Amino acid sequence: SVRLRILRHKKVMNVAVKLSRPLHFSRLVPHEQYDVIPTYYILGGMLFEPVTLNYLKTWGKKWIFSAPDDLTHYYLYGKRTDDRKEVIVLVEVLADEINVGYHDLDNRVVSRVNGKKISTMEDLVAAFENHSGKYHIILDERGHQIVLDRRKVDQNSQRILERYRITADRSKDLKSVSSTMSQQQGFDPVNTVVQMGREN
């Protein structure tokens, strides 16, 4: 509950208001979070993450000016709805022969994966791992498509993780989503890879 001091009928009163939801519940992009391991998912060298204030602050103290405009707009004005509970981005691409042509992509807001609308990270993982078609197709908000050969992704995703010394294809909070990939928990690849990208 929150204690408030209010003026009612010309009298100052102290009241306690019980909060049924967190203050940031309606926010599409959460405020800064502490002691929370970042959520991430990697498939075929594609690194995905939900946008948070922590993520935006990887652009430095003046992130409001240096982070991508669409991401800061979501932070400032985005509202959480039943259809959209998170903003999911393709953070960057871990370069490999199976994702040639997409190595320069970063911070693309994901709209659909394999025809499925993406509202949460769980949606993203399920859209990839429940798909049996020949290709994985990722659609961003600008209408651009990323097309990956599913067979090559299945055969090479573990190798890509090992090449970049990443021991888990997802964060611990996504472990409950079925995976044929590595289930080992190691260092946090998200901030490591993101910071590498900032320095290049």
In terms of pLDDT, which residue wins out, 86 or 178? 86
Cβ-Cβ contacts under 8 Å for 91 (sequence gap 6 or more): 40, 47, 48, 49, 106, 107, 190, 193, 194, 197
pLDDT of residue 19: 58
> In the chain, what are the domain boundaries?
24-173
* pTM of the predicted structure, to 2 decimals: 0.77
User: Which pLDDT tens digit goes with each residue over 159-188?
Assistant: 999 999 998 999 999 988 754 443 433 444
In terms of pLDDT, which residue wins out, 55 or 8? 55
Structure tokens given for 96: 């490999």
Q: How far apart are CA 115 and CA 126, in angstroms?
A: 12
- Give yes or no for residue 154 having a pLDDT over 90: yes
pLDDT of residue 17: 67
Tell me phi and psi for residue 122, to 5 degrees: -60, -40
User: Which pLDDT tens digit goes with each residue over 102-116?
Assistant: 999 999 999 999 999
Yes or no: say if 3 and 15 are a contact pair by the CB < 8 Å rule: yes
pLDDT of residue 22: 53
pLDDT of residue 16: 79
pLDDT of residue 40: 96
CATH architecture for the domain at 24-173 = Alpha-Beta Barrel (3.20)
- Give yes or no for residue 152 having a pLDDT over 70: yes
SS3 category, 162: helix
pLDDT of residue 178: 58
Return the beta strands (E) in 26-114 as ranges: 41-43, 46-50, 88-93, 106-113
Q: How far apart are CA 169 and CA 189, in angstroms?
A: 9
Alpha helices in 49-130 (DSSP H): 53-56, 63-66, 69-77, 121-129
In which residue are the tokens 């798909």 written? 131
Burial bucket for residue 39 (CB in 10 Å: 0-12, 13-18, 19+): buried
Express as a percent the part of the chain with pLDDT over 90: 66
- Give yes or no for residue 92 having a pLDDT over 80: yes
Alpha helices in 119-186 (DSSP H): 121-129, 150-163
User: Which pLDDT tens digit goes with each residue over 24-79?
Assistant: 557 899 888 787 788 999 999 999 999 999 999 999 999 999 999 999 999 999 99
pLDDT of residue 184: 38
